[in-house]
Structure 1
Amino acid sequence: MGTTVTGSDASDRYEIDDVAFLGRTFAEYRRMLGLEAVELSGRRVLDCPGGACGFTAGARARGADAYAVDPVYGPPVEHVADRARRDLHRAVDALDEVEHLYVWDVYDDPADLASHRWSALGRFLADYADHGDRYLPAALPRLPFPDDTFDLVCSAHLLFLYADHFDHEFHVRALRELCRVARGEVRLFPLVDLATERYDGLDDLLLWLERAGHDPTVRPVDFEFQRGADECLVIDAATG
């Protein structure tokens, strides 16, 4: 499990053995998902998958009724912390040969990136320890919530990014489930894979979402770390 750079393609691709359990800060989420205009106070919010992120704690601190799901959740905090620290060390080490795949504007350098990841992890672990009922063990494409539960559903760094791990049918099923539990918006980031290529099934998914009665929009965001990853997908699930 975790993140490694392997083989002769190491300079062209950020290689992942499995889905990494990493974290982003609340501020990073706001930029990645274009959430500046979204009023979180009084809204029910889901982060799926939540990873080791500080978003759920940050959203709740701003008045949201916030939850997160991830298949890693459930064990005691020390076990989750061990997994998160291991994946974080591997992820930072893996940048050595692929720094050119990234735009170093959001972060000054790999050390600055690592400091953001560690900050997010610290916020997550403290909140996981104190509010474990907000962090539920679950994974797409099946979530343990009734229809129309959340005003806002966020999904970052899973769909599209791990296109070589999850086939197109999984993406369809996952989007259907995210829309099912949302009574408002679903927001996803990024729209590129680990090789920084736009997900080649995205247009088919947009058409499928439209036919399902939803209203998908690709919007630019004020965030680009992976080259070309400067858009998010916003879905008006309420129209379905």
Structure 2
Amino acid sequence: MITDDESFESSSDDETYEIEDVAFIGRTFEEYVRMFDLDLHRLDGGRILDCPSGACAFVAEATQRGLSAVGADVMYRGDYGELDTRGELDIEMALEGFDDAEELFEWDYYGDVDGLRDHWTEAYETFLKDYPAGLASGRYVPAKLPDLPFEDDAFTHTLSAHLLFLYADRLSHEFHVESLRELARVTADEVRVYPLADFEGTPYPRLDDLLDSLRSDGYGVEIRSVPFEFQRGATEILAIDCD
């Protein structure tokens, strides 16, 4: 993830999902297609940024499909061995957080915790196979929000998953605004952000304020439904029109 490691515990009056750090966990290409409701034909011919990219398989598989994609993440400062060890440990650590908290999540897509483990493992293994060559070629870039090392409009589309809004109790509203402005700065067409809720599915409480800030900057903003749900009620993305 883009933030450095910090202690984290999310809480609610009833069940709780707990995670010790900002986990280095990834999603598969197919999960990205559903989470962001992607039209792959629309992406063809453009340049896509995945930020934070983490241990996701999107950049690797997009490249295999002939798409131009770049992943940005603070963890890309590390070498292959460090990320391999971190990925395995974080998957197990994060899965432990589901003990007695399964009801906070919708399991239609994954089936159960073992199915979730399979997806996370597939994603990080696909990422790791691509990482050495991708790092050397500039496909993976060490970077940390809200300051990215890219020129204005460097990408046509940007995808941002599982940092903003998810850690709303840790990341300030100002950080959210600055990060979304930065993602929009480096994007010529559209930014999509998922999810818009925390681990318990609670919507971001200052979303309207954030949308007003982006509108005041001249960006078009829209909340759209997507065909994916894991955190209960987290079925929407924020789309920022940068054109």
TM-score greater than 0.5 by the shorter chain: yes
Q: 1:3 to 1:28 in 2, by over 3 A?
A: farther
Q: Could you tell me which residue of structure 2 aligns to residue 171 of structure 1?
A: 176
Query: Relative to 1, partners in 2 of residues 1:9 and 1:217: Cα closer, same or farther, differing over 3 Å?
Result: closer
Counterpart of 1:52?
55
Measure how far apart 1:116 and its partner are. 0.4
Take 2:215 and 2:12, find their aligned partners in 1: how far apart are those partners?
A: 37
Per the alignment, residue 202 of structure 1 pairs with 207
SS class of match (2:188) = strand
Asked if the contact 2:143/2:149 (under 8 Å) is kept, the reply is: yes
Structure 1: runs of 5+ lacking an equivalent: none
SS of residue paired to 1:153 = strand
Shift of 1:114: 0.6
Q: 1:38 and 1:85 mapped to 2: Cα distance?
A: 34
Query: How much does 1:85 deviate?
Result: 1.1
**Percent identity of the aligned residues?**
47
Write the distance in 2 (CA, Å) between the matches of 1:224 and 1:18.
23
* Aligned-residue offset at 1:9: 5.5
1:92 equivalent among 83, 95, 102: 95
1:130 corresponds to 2:118: no
Residue 83 of structure 2: aligned partner: 80
Cα distance change, pair 199–113 in 1 and its aligned pair in 2 (3 A):
same
Distance (Å, rounded) in 1 between the aligned partners of 2:222 and 2:48? 20
CA RMSD of aligned residues (A): 1.9
Residue among 221, 225, 240 paired with 2:230:
225
Gaps of at least 5 residues in structure 2 are none
| Cα drift, residue 38 of structure 1 | 5.2
Q: Which amino acid aligns with 1:90?
A: M
Runs of 4+ in 1 over 4 A off after TM superposition: 1-6, 8-11
Residue pair 1:25, 1:116 contacting (<8 A) in 2 also: yes
Aligned to 2:117: 114
How far apart in 2 are the matches of 1:216 and 1:118?
34
So what's the TM-score if we normalise by structure 1?
A: 0.93
Shift in Å at residue 19 of structure 1? 1.5
